[in-house]
Amino acid sequence: AQTVTQSQPEMSVQEAETVTLSCTYDTSESDYYLFWYKQPPSRQMILVIRQEAYKQQNATENRFSVNFQKAAKSFSLKISDSQLGDAAMYFCAYRSVMSGTYKYIFGTGTRLKVLA
């Protein structure tokens, strides 16, 4: 079974600085998708960025980018020019596409604090 691990329960970053959140996963599949979700205090889950495993190019969405290392099974999220509104819980998620079962598996999350 696939697992997702986020080893940093909490991170802090100074406003305007850069921070990287870690995510590793375990799978025997070669084709899958990875996602980062943000959960602000409102508890609404917001998609931040997604990555297809068959694409070598790292995904980028404005100030958010990923470092996808398929061999290492690592999928870290980099937030550049951090803003106060980035403060939230961040969840890494894995979606299988090969088994015909479209489950999304989440890590335990990283709480990001942004310091003014």
Partner 1 sequence: DGGITQSPKYLFRKEGQNVTLSCEQNLNHDAMYWYRQDPGQGLRLIYYSQIVNDFQKGDIAEGYSVSREKKESFPLTVTSAQKNPTAFYLCASSLIQGRNSPLHFGNGTRLTVT
Q: DSSP E strands: which ranges in the chain?
A: 3-5, 10-14, 19-21, 24-26, 32-39, 46-52, 60-61, 64-69, 74-79, 88-96, 104-106, 110-115
CA–CA separation, 89 and 82 (whole Å): 14
In this chain, which of 38, 75, 87, 109 binds partner 1, going by CB under 8 A? 109
- Residue 31 beta carbon to partner 1: minimum distance, rounded to whole angstroms: 9
Site for partner 1 in 45-84 (CB under 8 A): 45, 47, 50, 52
Which of residues 16 and 98 has its CB atom nearest to partner 1 in the complex? 98
The total of other beta-carbon atoms located within 10 Å of residue 107's CB is 23
Q: Does residue number 115 form part of the binding site for partner 1 (CB under 8 A)?
A: no
> Does 28 engage in binding with partner 1 (CB under 8 A)?
no
98 binds partner 1 (CB under 8 A): no
